[in-house]
Chains A and B, each alone.
Chain A
Amino acid sequence: MAALLRQLGHAGRITLIGDELVPPYQRPPLSKAWLKGEADSEFLSLKPLAFYVDGAIDFRPGVRAVRLERTARYVRLSDGTDMSYDILVLATGARAAALPVPGADLHGVLFLRTSADAEALKARLGRDKRLVVVGGGYIGLEVAASGRALGADVVVLEREARLLARVASETISNFFRRLHERHGAKFELGASVVGFAGEAGQVTGVKLADGRALACDVAVVGVGAHPNDELAAESGLETARGVVVDLQARTSDPRVFAIGDVAHRPMPIYGRMFRMESVPNALEQAKQAACTIAGRPAPVGEVPWQWSDQYDVKLQIAGYAFDVDEIIVRGDPESGKFAVFHLQGEHLQSVEAINSPPEFMMGRQLIGSRKAINRLKLANPAVSMRDVAL
């Protein structure tokens, strides 16, 4: 956001307040390349320190914004000082949801949200270490894949009957389960965690509702996230499990913007509002806010997308499967290269592509253009993705 403002020629003072001790960094590699030891901290940081100096961005690490006073236009910081503003951008993100069970505060029961979390996890992973992952979502599965790559013994516990239950189709869920099993990860589906066992403050196991206990050296909890919208809500800004914003990323106060995981935003192609947790979403909203602040029109809306890398598999998802009445699978899941298309009438709502960039790239365009689709052509991998629209 600060970088975009400078790119757009914004000359005013910019202060960046963050509660972490390190400058902004990329989070996606934390569960993948960084955890596996394939990337260094220099790679992880979004910008070198010189960027903040040269760009005249006043970066304040290790301080929290604790109160927002919108009438007097200042933010109270955790060090007791007040920071006044002309324009405020809330990019407070989301925090990992806790598991409200006994033993969740033991050492070795970890989340993966920050680089500090990732450091703690990395220190406990390694050959023959026993890792239990609570939650079969993207974070959980990526940690499981990295754990296996490091030679750890991995068990994933999922409350629902299938993996990725809230975020992917059944075909994709089954594909990832088989993929992980081939790489030696184990699964317990329909498993309910009732507590963690420990010795001398360290986790030693996970207790299940059916009475079983799984021994472990480290447990990672990835069961969702909550938006950090308290600052906004307490100041009277409109919130709805996230700070409500418009297509310029503006909140109900014209001087205050909210972007990224904390924002509850309109998504015109689906005619509804929701909150997204993805890097492309955060960047799109940063562009909306930066353009608005710089006095330019906000860019044209993008089709939301996200990706996940596990083992040698790349999953790319475009759109959301709202109000879908038909699912078409293109290609054979056994081949490790296929795509699942979600249609509403003749229109494409979403695509989940496994090692299939053409399906992802073209699918994303077709979701945005609302072109009618020829189902037979779409289902036939021999027909080019360029020719599937009617």
Chain B
Amino acid sequence: MPKITYIDFYNTEHTFEVKPGHSVMDGAVKNNVPGIDADCGGACSCATCQVYVDAAWQSRTGERNEMEQSMLEFADGVQSNSRLSCQITVTDELDGLVVRVAKKAPD
């Protein structure tokens, strides 16, 4: 199974196996990664699962879709490598993917 590495807002790395077909967000939520709130459960409705995709992986995770692009235009902390992790579907090709949680650590 593909392994995905999440770097949380404390700079701690978490690596988990995530089932192909599930989203990068699913993997984070099921493994309790801090900072991926995923309020809407993956419906591309809330922008609380934003991640920064590691530069080496940007071509393989693909482009933002229209709804996602539209949500990200108005979300906080958006960078050129921002994605909503609910919109990245895990495939065998993404084995080794590294993403960083966009949300800032609480005070």
Which of B19, B39, B73 has the most CB atoms of chain A within a 10 A radius of its CB? B39
Are B32 and A55 within 8 A (Cβ)? yes
Query: What total of A-B pairs shows CB separation below 8 Å?
Result: 61
Those of A369-390 within 8 Å (CB) of chain B: 385
Q: Is the CB of A26 within 8 A of B41?
A: yes
Give chain A nearest CB distance to B39 CB in angstroms: 5
**Contact string against B for A residues 258-301, beta-carbon threshold 8 Å, 1 for contact and 0 otherwise:** 00000000000000000000011001000000000000110100
B23-65: which residues lie under 8 A (CB-CB) from chain A?
Answer: 26, 29-32, 34, 37, 39-41, 43-47
The residue among A51, A55, A283, A365 with the most chain B CB atoms within 10 A of its own CB is: A283
What number of B residues sit within 8 Å (CB to CB) of A?
A: 25
Q: Known contacts A7-B34, A280-B46; decide if A43 and B39 are in contact (CB<8 Å).
A: no
Q: Is the CB of B32 within 8 A of A7?
A: yes
A42 touches B19 (CB 8 A): yes
B residues 47-95 near A (Cβ < 8 Å) are 47, 67, 70-71, 73-75
A103 vs B40: C-alpha distance when bound (angstroms): 36
Q: A7-B32, A43-B26, A279-B41 are in contact. Are A305 and B106 (CB under 8 A)?
A: no
Bound-state Cα–Cα, A190 to B46, Å = 34
A380 to B15, CA, bound (A): 47
- CA gap between A51 and B106 in the complex, in Å: 23
Contact of A47 with B71 at beta-carbon distance under 8 Å, contacts A279-B41, A314-B45, A316-B45 already known: no
Contacts of A126 in B (CB 8 A): none
A176 interfacial contact with B, CB 8 Å? no
CB distance A296 to B106 under 8 Å? yes
Using CB atoms, name the residue of chain A closest to B70. Answer: A357
The residues of B that contact A362 with a CB separation of less than 8 Å are: 74
Across the interface, which residues of B come within 8 angstroms of A365, CB to CB? Answer: 74
| 24 sample A-B contacts, Cβ–Cβ < 8 Å, listed by A number | A3-B32, A7-B34, A26-B41, A28-B43, A42-B19, A43-B26, A48-B30, A279-B40, A279-B41, A280-B40, A283-B37, A283-B39, A297-B107, A307-B43, A307-B45, A314-B44, A314-B45, A314-B67, A357-B71, A358-B70, A358-B73, A361-B47, A361-B73, A385-B74
Closest 3 CB pairs of A and B: A361-B74, A357-B70, A307-B45
Residue numbers of B with Cβ under 8 A of A are: 19, 22, 26, 29-32, 34, 37, 39-41, 43-47, 67, 70-71, 73-75, 106-107
Extra contacts besides A43-B26, A47-B30, A283-B39 (11): CB < 8 Å: A7-B32, A28-B40, A51-B30, A55-B32, A280-B39, A297-B107, A307-B45, A307-B46, A358-B70, A358-B74, A385-B74
